[in-house]
């Protein structure tokens, strides 16, 4: 009986190593009284208490054009991965990142193919992400197909353009 209890405890401890939440994601920093996400992030970080007010409100309010989204079929998403570089202190990020998530959700994009980073006030990441991905403005959303960049969205749509127009155009690249 004692051996069974020890074995069970060992297996339980071992299994939590593989299911423990990552501690290196959704980290916050405070600089000059301003708290923001910094480094690798995900939707959970954007939905957390300090950011949920603007993230949820903008996500819920954004209504992508269903006719535009219909131009993008499932094959358009094959082999696609995305890098999102944003800043939780930035107005353009607060407006466009929730809209981006809404569009990708409606397209059925597998979020495991998205890697997101939050940059600091100098638009720099902890591991030089701004250099690695050539970012000077946020948000920058880079789309890859089979590890080759097929397009990017930077900062805001042009007047008269909607974010889904840009995304669908990029995704429909051969």
d(CA 127, CA 24): 12
Helices and strands (DSSP H and E) totals, the chain: 7, 7
pTM reported for the whole predicted model: 0.86
Kindly state which CATH superfamily the domain 27-171 is placed in.
Glutaredoxin (3.40.30.10)
Closest by Cα among 110, 120, 47 to 85: 120
Q: What's the Cα-to-Cα distance from 172 to each of 63, 147, 148, rounded to whole Å? A: 21, 16, 14
Average model confidence (pLDDT) across the chain: 90
d(CA 125, CA 77): 27
pLDDT value of residue 7: 46
d(CA 162, CA 66): 12
Instruction: Count the Cβ atoms, other than its own, within 10 Å of residue 132.
Output: 12
d(CA 7, CA 70): 53
pLDDT band at 123 (very low <50, low <70, confident <90, very high): very high
Q: Where are the alpha helices (DSSP H) in the chain?
A: 2-19, 43-46, 52-61, 66-69, 91-107, 129-132, 163-171
pLDDT band at 74 (very low <50, low <70, confident <90, very high): confident
d(CA 100, CA 29): 24
- Domain positions in the chain are 27-171
* pLDDT above 80 for 159: yes
């Amino acid at each position: 009986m004692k051996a069974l209890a020890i074995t069970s405890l060992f297996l339980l401890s071992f299994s939590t190593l593989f299911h423990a939440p990552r501690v290196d994601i959704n980290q916050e920093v405070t600089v000059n009284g301003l708290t923001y996400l910094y480094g690798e992030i995900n939707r959970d970080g954007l939905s957390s208490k300090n950011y949920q007010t603007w993230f949820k409100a903008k996500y819920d309010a954004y209504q992508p054009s269903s006719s535009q989204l219909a131009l993008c079929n499932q094959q358009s998403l094959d082999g696609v991965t995305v890098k999102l570089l944003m800043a939780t202190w930035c107005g353009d990020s607060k407006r466009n990142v929730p809209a981006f998530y809404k569009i990708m959700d409606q397209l059925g994009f597998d979020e495991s193919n998205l890697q997101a980073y939050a940059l600091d006030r100098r638009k720099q990441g902890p591991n030089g992400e701004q250099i690695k991905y050539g970012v000077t403005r946020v948000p920058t959303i880079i789309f890859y197909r089979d590890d080759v960049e097929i397009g990017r969205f930077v900062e805001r749509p042009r007047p008269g353009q909607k974010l889904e127009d840009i995304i669908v155009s990029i995704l429909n690249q051969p």
